Amino acid sequence: MAEAQLSLNLDIKHDASLSDFSGPGWMSIIDAVRQLHVGLIGQLYLFGSPATGKSHLLSAICESFVEMDKSAICLSLNELIHTDVNVLSSLETFDVIAIDDLEILEQSSQWQEALFHLINRSREGQRQLLFAANKPAGELPFQLTDLLSRLSQAPTFKVPNGRDLADRQALLQSILRRRGWQFDERIIDYLLNEGPHRIGAMMVVLNYIQPMFSNLGRSNISKAVISDAMRTIDEQTLVAELADITQETQVDKLAADHDNQTMPLEF
């Protein structure tokens, strides 16, 4: 397993755990993961907006299978789409195959066909498959309808958008505990209530503010450090919000362009 991951440069990110997703909004998804663990289901399809935790969850699921002495690999099609499509032809040797950024395959019918064949081979070998995309399988603009049919057969779940405070709190506490990080409670409260809601953006903020506290004991945290951390949270939250606005504008433009292309001509 290690050799295959090294040759593909697709190591599982070990800084992920299913305990990160103990909030109430994730319960149905984690229940489905437990069904994956015991073999009751063979596939799982996750969808949702960017930075809502899909990639983090895929890594956590793969890590959970590794802990069960299963081989697992997690790959992003966003990183692979410009490489050799034959990379998909050898993956069915893994017990669990997680494929992220599925929507990228709109760009290539060749990759769509390769994924279709991978799914078929994996079924024959009783391998388990995980998929993540920004929309349900039925809404992916793929030309290969047989692939859409295969993807639509997987149990499908929309990931929470992060707006539930309990979800954010559970994830934050789990990550801090696993990394051994200690923040002033005022910072934790401020991050949960004033920081970005989406998991990906919240983790970016964590990485920005952690160095501010890494060499400080709890009794050495000054008001200036607290103020600097809060200012950093505000700045990075604004960056995340602007990124969301930009993305929404791009999505609306793509949808409008698509409507214009398919609009019937009037005479």
Mean pLDDT by runs of 10 across the 267 residues of the chain is: 39 75 96 96 95 94 96 93 88 93 93 95 91 96 95 96 93 91 90 92 91 68 89 92 70 49 40
**Residues 186, 154 share a domain:** no
| Cα–Cα distance, 177 to 37 (Å, whole number) | 25
Residue 14: predicted pLDDT? 59
Non-local (6+) Cβ contacts of 109 within 8 A are 143, 144
- Among 158, 189, 224, identify where a domain stops: 158
Domain annotation covers residue 165: no
Last residue within a domain, chosen from 95, 127, 158: 158
Structurally, the chain folds into a number of domains equal to 2
128 and 235 both lie in a single domain = no
Whether 100 and 210 share a structural domain:
no
Residue 105 lies in a domain: yes
Q: What percent of the chain has pLDDT over 90?
A: 64
Evaluate whether residue 216 is within a structural domain: yes
Nearest-10 crossing angle of helices 54-66, 199-213: 80
Residue 166 belongs to a domain: no
Residue 84's nearest CA partner among 107, 109, 110 is 110
Q: Are residues 23 and 70 in the same domain?
A: yes
Query: HSE of 13 in the Cβ direction (CA atoms, 13 Å)?
Result: 14
Same domain, 49 and 103: yes
The token duo for 114 is 């390769």
Task: Determine the Cα–Cα distance for residues 201 and 128; give it in Å rounded to an integer.
Answer: 29
Residues 212 and 130 grouped into a single domain: no
Last residue of a domain, one of 158, 191, 225: 158
31 and 74, same domain (yes or no): yes
* Three-state secondary structure call for residue 130: strand
Residue 204's nearest CA partner among 237, 244, 167, 159 is 237
Within a domain: residue 8?
no
Q: Classify each residue of 117-152 as buried b or exposed e, where b means 16 or more C-beta atoms within 10 Å of its C-beta.
A: ebbeebbeeebbbbbbbbeebeebebeeeebbebbe
Same-domain status, 60 and 123: yes
198, part of any domain: yes
Residue 33 near residue 179 (C-beta atoms within 8 A): no
pLDDT tens track for 45-103:
999 999 899 999 999 999 999 999 999 999 999 989 889 999 898 888 899 999 999 99
With respect to residue 58, please indicate whether it lies within any of the assigned structural domains: yes
133 and 59 both lie in a single domain: yes
Q: Does residue 151 lie in a domain region?
A: yes
Range of the domain at 29: 18-158
Q: How far apart are CA 181 and CA 223, in angstroms?
A: 19
Q: What is the structure's pLDDT at 125?
A: 85
- Are 143 and 200 in a shared domain? no
One domain for residues 113 and 218: no
Which CATH number fits the domain that encloses residue 93?
3.40.50.300
Which region, left, alpha or beta, applies to residue 74 given φ > 0 means left and ψ of -120 to 50 means alpha? beta
Residue 148 contacts residue 113 (beta carbons within 8 Å): no
Same domain (yes/no): 76, 137: yes
